[in-house]
Amino acid sequence: MTSTFVDPDLAAIRHVTPRTPNGCEECLRLHTPWLHLRLCLSCGFVGCCDSSPMRHARKHAHTVGHPIVRSFEPGESWRWCYVHEIYV
C-alpha cells in the first residue's frame, strides 16, 4: 500500500523513558497478566497490548489522549497510532 498520509499524531511523540521497564504499569499494580508490551511515546507509560486481557496500552491512549505507542518487545520497533489505527 502506498500512501502520502502523514499522521498528525506523530507530533505527540516525545523523548520518553519507560516508567515501568519491567512490565505493564497497571498490570503490575493489579497483579493481572499481560502478553506483549507497548510504550507510550508521549509519556513513557508501559501498557499491555490488545492481545492481553486488560489492554492497558489502548485504555491509556484513549483515557489520557496519547495517540502513539511503539512496541516494547525486544527487536521490535514499529509504532502504532490508536487514533487512526495505523502503523506510523
The residues binding Zn ion (CB under 5 A) are 24, 26-27, 34, 40, 42-43, 45, 48, 54, 56, 66
CB of 77 to Zn ion, least distance (A): 18
CB of 50 to Zn ion, least distance (A): 11
Q: Are 69 and 80 in contact (CB under 8 A)?
A: yes
What type of residue sits at position 2? T
Q: Please, which residue, 54 or 86, has the CB nearer to Zn ion?
A: 54
DSSP state of 12: G
Give the integer Cα–Cα distance in Å for 23 and 88: 23
Q: Please, which residue, 56 or 79, has the CB nearer to Zn ion?
A: 56
